[in-house]
């Protein structure tokens, strides 16, 4: 009988929860009064500049873990999700760019298979004929939908593309799309490098020792770092970092610029976007880090490197 391969975290760290854990979380959630009416700020996207750009490196935050990255005249997307709902929850903030306004996409980087990071309805609407760089084991989800332009990566695999290097690196997480496919594909982050620049898209992760290993193998400039979906921390800790842990991870990878993500778009846990951002800024100030190294993009805003 064929048995599906199940992927694991470093040191076999477990992220599984029991039914009683879920009941406890839901009971706690009913007792909390969170204000979801305060949203992360939007700005008009620089459409003309982005469509005309053929040489500069840019990072535009669409929302959640979705970024449009331009480098070496190419257009990339990370975890593209334009979905209006996530489960029973309505999207809190509109995407920073209408999907119809995207340029032709050359490559898409997928961190893992959870629905808030991999939305095939979104993928169907992308312009161009992109290559999908996905974690090992996830290619089947693409091939059965008729996509054959994908490349699977295992941890520390590197791929060359038009003068760029794409490396798949570890994260501490898990994945599931159906009742039977738990952890049958891997999870991780992607590092995008040209000759002079590097962008580390961390994906979805708890704090783990892998950040030290990554720092030893790569020279990282800009980090797209998750800071949300951490509350209640007793439940989320293995899978999601809180803002203080995210700062610790940033220092550990020895990067230059911190761009927060994975907050304020979907109500996946009990924290809110403004809470996550407030804790991030407070930790930055407590450690007396340089303000210019923390770049909190507004939705739709572009950072030109």
Residue 50: the pLDDT is 97
The mean per-residue pLDDT over the stretch 167-195 comes to: 96
> What average pLDDT score do residues 167-192 get?
96
d(CA 118, CA 133) in angstroms, rounded, equals 12
Q: Given pLDDT bands bounded at 50, 70 and 90, which one contains residue 190?
A: very high
Whole-number percent of the chain with pLDDT over 90: 90
pLDDT the model gives residue 139 = 97
Question: Is the pLDDT confidence value at 205 over 90?
Answer: yes
Taking the model in full, what pTM does it have?
A: 0.95
What's the mean per-residue pLDDT of the chain?
95
Question: Average pLDDT for residues 205-219, to the nearest whole number?
Answer: 97
Res 181: pLDDT: 93
Mean per-residue pLDDT, 294-298: 98
Q: Give me the phi and psi of 84, to 5 degrees please.
A: -80, -20
Region 29-56: mean pLDDT is: 90
Mean pLDDT of 150-164: 97
Q: Is residue 209 classed as helix, strand or coil in its secondary structure?
A: coil
Sort 27 into a burial class: Cβ within 10 Å, 0-12 / 13-18 / 19+.
exposed
Residue 69 above 50 pLDDT? yes
At 33, the pLDDT band (50, 70, 90 cuts) reads confident
**Using one digit for the tens of pLDDT, what is the confidence trace for 113-144?**
999 999 999 999 999 999 999 999 999 999 99
Q: What is the distance of C-alpha 229 from the center of its chain? A: 12
Q: Are strands 66-71 and 164-169 parallel, antiparallel or unpaired?
A: unpaired
Lowest mean pLDDT among 7-16, 19-28, 282-291: 19-28
Tell me, what's the pLDDT at 3? 57
CB 191 within 8 A of CB 219: no
At 2, the pLDDT band (50, 70, 90 cuts) reads: very low
Confidence check: pLDDT of 1 > 50: no
CB 125 within 8 A of CB 102: no
Helix (H) or strand (E) holding 134: strand 131-135
Proportion of the chain above pLDDT 70, given as a percent: 99
- CB-based contact 39:273 (threshold 8 Å): yes
Q: How many CB atoms are located within 10 Å of the residue 253 CB?
A: 23
How many angstroms separate the CA atoms of 123 and 108, rounded?
Answer: 9
From the number of C-beta atoms within 10 Å of its C-beta (0-12, 13-18, 19+), residue 251 rates as middle
How do residues 96-107 score in pLDDT, each as one tens digit? Answer: 999 999 999 999
Burial zone of 178 (CB within 10 Å; 0-12 exposed, 13-18 middle, 19+ buried): exposed
Q: Which residues pair with 71 in a beta bridge?
A: 74
């Amino acid at each position: 009988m064929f048995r599906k391969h199940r992927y694991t975290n470093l040191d076999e760290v477990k992220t599984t929860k029991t039914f009683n854990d879920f009941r406890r979380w839901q009971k706690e959630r009913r007792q909390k009064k969170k204000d979801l009416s305060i949203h992360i700020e939007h700005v008009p996207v620089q459409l003309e500049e982005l469509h005309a750009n053929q040489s500069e490196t840019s990072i535009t935050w669409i929302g959640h873990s979705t970024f449009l990255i331009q480098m070496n005249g190419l257009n990339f997307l990370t975890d593209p999700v334009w979905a209006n709902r996530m489960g029973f929850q309505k999207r809190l903030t509109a995407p920073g760019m209408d999907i119809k306004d995207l340029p032709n996409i050359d490559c898409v980087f997928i961190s893992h298979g959870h629905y808030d990071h991999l939305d095939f309805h979104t993928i169907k609407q992308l312009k161009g004929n992109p290559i999908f760089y996905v974690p090992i084991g996830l290619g089947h989800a693409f091939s059965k939908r008729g996509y054959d332009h994908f490349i699977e990566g295992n941890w520390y695999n590197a791929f060359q593309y038009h003068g760029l290097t794409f490396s798949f690196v570890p994260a501490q997480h898990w994945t599931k799309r159906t009742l039977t496919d738990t952890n049958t594909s891997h999870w991780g982050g992607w590092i995008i490098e040209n000759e002079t620049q590097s962008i580390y898209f961390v994906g979805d992760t708890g704090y783990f020792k892998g950040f030290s290993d990554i720092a030893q193998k790569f020279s990282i400039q800009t980090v797209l770092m998750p800071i949300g979906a951490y509350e209640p921390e007793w439940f989320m800790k293995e899978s999601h970092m809180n803002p203080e842990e995210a700062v610790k991870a940033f220092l550990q990878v020895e990067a230059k610029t911190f761009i927060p993500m994975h907050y304020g778009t979907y109500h996946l846990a009990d924290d809110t976007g403004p809470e996550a951002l407030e804790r991030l800024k407070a930790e930055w100030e407590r450690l007396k880090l340089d303000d210019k190294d923390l770049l909190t993009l507004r939705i739709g805003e572009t950072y030109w490197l």
